[in-house]
Structure 1
Amino acid sequence: MGTKQYSLIGVGVVLIILLALLPKAVITDNTASTVEGNQTTTQTEQHSEDDGHDHGNNNVDMAAAHSDKLPADTQNILDSLQDQFGKTKGIDNKANVANKAYDLLIRMNKFDRAAEWKLALYGAANNTEDLRLAADAYYDAFTFAMSDEKSSKMATLARSNYDKYLKINPKDLNSKVKLGMTYVVSSSPMQGITLIREVLTEEPDHQLAIFNLGLLSMQSGQYEKAVGRFTQLKKLYPEDMEARFYLALSLKEVGKTNQAIEELEFINKNADSEDIRVTSAQYLSEWVN
């Protein structure tokens, strides 16, 4: 699996914020010792069909869509598209309208509002790709939420939609990993770890699964294990600059400062993303002096 699909990083966000966004209560005491251990305890958590949105409804949930105030001109565009979506006949025409709204909101990082449009389109067309994109948008909203309350709400919505999508497409391992991460921040974190481990059992070199286990090791202070995970990614996907960035941070934590500096220097020289270059340069300026 050579295609990287990290919803966790990007969209102009400085990389180190990611670790801060993982709730501190995720891994404590018992779970800290089993994240990278051999325990594979599975916890069962029941979810009802209505713990998210009604996906059979082909209307955009405008109550939720108006939860974040947008510039007046942008809101006017969305209102117009909402009206068109309701009046337009034919799936292709509805898809054209919905995708315009979705693309606009994604560009503005309004992920939960974008998800509403994909769910409306899924209700109209029953295309599972729209369901997956809605789940991904909620996942991005969960990842970048700036409050625990919104993070929890978005994780729940992402989980509900991934659950439904994976019942139809159980072989989508990226979605299974993301589903696992939504459980990690729930009251059943080990259920999430188990899901991610199941992905690695099926595909030992799965990029997103290894990456997230590395992040979870960092979050729980298990930096030696994080070094192992990110080193594995470095060998498998040497151009994965995000993994190398977190490898550098983990190496520094275990006292291997020279190796950490080498990783950051490599990133500074080779990364395409300005965000990661700037962040690496900031760390270099601190570590070298």
Structure 2
Amino acid sequence: MINSIRSKQAILIGAVVLLIAFLFTRDIKGLVKPKEQTSSTPAGSQMAAQAPATAEINLEEVSTAAKNMIKAPLAAEITTLETAYKSASESDKAKEAKLLAKKWDDLEQSVPSALYLEIVANKEQTLNNWLAAGDTFMKAFDNTRDSLLQPALLQKANASYSSAMKIDSNSNDAKTGLGITIVNGMGAPMSGIAMLMDVVKKDPKNLKANMSLGTFAMKSGQFDKAIIRFKSIIAMKPSPDAYFYLGTSYENLGKNTEAIDAYEKSKKLAANATLSKFIDDKVIALKNKN
């Protein structure tokens, strides 16, 4: 029984890592060195639970590391923008920070982008600015494998969504983001789940909240509930990640025929060569079990 549970956990962790690597290929290049992923690697929520009281990320260090991993002309463009930001008057800081955030985002460098969006939000405290900062911190959190940086990113996302909630406590986007950070380690998980459930109750077609509830159901081993959630998501908007998670949930329940069908649909929608090879191998393995 214990071996069976461990086996399911290994399958689940492998699936989540695969999704991050192939469907959402937005790695923080140069900020951290890739680490080997194994079934014993702490989950994001476990690492996040160890977050320090204050999240501090050095912007200059982050920028330097990121610039070392991009082409020289692009790094020069960033340096020019940084110089303009540093020399700008206080009234123009937000404008220059927006340019840097956009440039870093274009280069798929979420950490420096999020830090500049945080600067913008602090200077121009609007709901959309705090949501943009929170979403980008969460994007960085999802992509980094650095166990020291990850909790700080999650804490900054939590703070950004909390600031958004202070501006509009009825914002489903703010409540969804805040709920996700809570479940991942910034508080009692069930309070985060309750927050997401409240969003879905008010807005049944909220894809982000539904997807989060589905993945959290998987992490807690509630694969039957996860299947219901992902099928409802697919009915609203089919996506490669929803089908992949659906396939993983079916696989963990031993429903290999259904898993194969979901994996094949994920492969078709993703149109990713590496993912296609992985799914082809997985389908062969599952068919051999039947």
Using the alignment, how far apart are the partners of 1:223 and 1:115 within structure 2?
A: 33
Q: What is aligned with 1:182? A: 181
Using the alignment, how far apart are the partners of 1:123 and 1:23 within structure 2?
A: 27
Moved more, 181-190 or 64-73: 64-73
Q: What is aligned with 1:29? A: none
Q: What is aligned with 1:57? A: none
Q: What is aligned with 1:56? A: none
Using the alignment, how far apart are the partners of 1:134 and 1:68 within structure 2?
A: 20
State the identity %: 19
Using the alignment, how far apart are the partners of 1:190 and 1:266 within structure 2?
A: 32
Using the alignment, how far apart are the partners of 1:164 and 1:188 within structure 2?
A: 19
Moved more, 243-252 or 278-287: 278-287
CA contact (8 A) 1:152 1:185 kept: no
Deviation of residue 127 (structure 1)? Answer: 4.3
Moved more, 79-88 or 207-216: 79-88
Confirm or deny that 1:23 pairs with 2:37.
Answer: no
Code of the aligned partner of 1:10: F
CA contact (8 A) 1:242 1:276 kept: no
Using the alignment, how far apart are the partners of 2:257 and 2:215 within structure 1?
A: 21
CA contact (8 A) 2:162 2:174 kept: no
Confirm or deny that 1:97 pairs with 2:96.
Answer: yes
Using the alignment, how far apart are the partners of 2:90 and 2:155 within structure 1?
A: 32
Using the alignment, how far apart are the partners of 2:151 and 2:168 within structure 1?
A: 25
CA contact (8 A) 1:142 1:155 kept: yes
Q: What is aligned with 2:231? A: 231
The count of corresponding residues between Structure 1 and Structure 2 is 248
Q: What is aligned with 1:162? A: 161
C-alpha RMSD over aligned residues: 3.3
Deviation of residue 150 (structure 1)? Answer: 1.9
Deviations 1:112-162 (A, max 9, x none): 211121222334444442322111111112112213332211111100011
CA contact (8 A) 1:65 1:116 kept: no
SS in 1 for 2:133: helix
Using the alignment, how far apart are the partners of 2:67 and 2:96 within structure 1?
A: 19
Q: What is aligned with 2:65? A: 68
The verdict on how the C-alpha distance between 1:174 and 1:128 changes in structure 2, with shifts beyond 3 A counting, is closer
Using the alignment, how far apart are the partners of 2:95 and 2:272 within structure 1?
A: 31
Q: What is aligned with 1:11? A: 25
Using the alignment, how far apart are the partners of 1:108 and 1:63 within structure 2?
A: 17
TM-score norm. by structure 1 comes to 0.72
TM-score norm. by structure 2 comes to 0.71
Deviation of residue 67 (structure 1)? Answer: 7.0
Using the alignment, how far apart are the partners of 1:213 and 1:107 within structure 2?
A: 29
Q: What is aligned with 1:140? A: 139
Q: What is aligned with 1:115? A: 114
Q: What is aligned with 1:216? A: 216
Q: What is aligned with 2:8? A: none
Using the alignment, how far apart are the partners of 2:256 and 2:116 within structure 1?
A: 47
Deviations 1:205-250 (A, max 9, x none): 322222111111111112122112112222232x222111111111
Code of the aligned partner of 1:168: I
The verdict on how the C-alpha distance between 1:21 and 1:102 changes in structure 2, with shifts beyond 3 A counting, is farther
As a proportion of its length, which structure holds more helix?
2
Moved more, 166-175 or 176-185: 166-175
Confirm or deny that 1:82 pairs with 2:82.
Answer: yes
Q: What is aligned with 1:47? A: none
CA contact (8 A) 1:52 1:160 kept: no
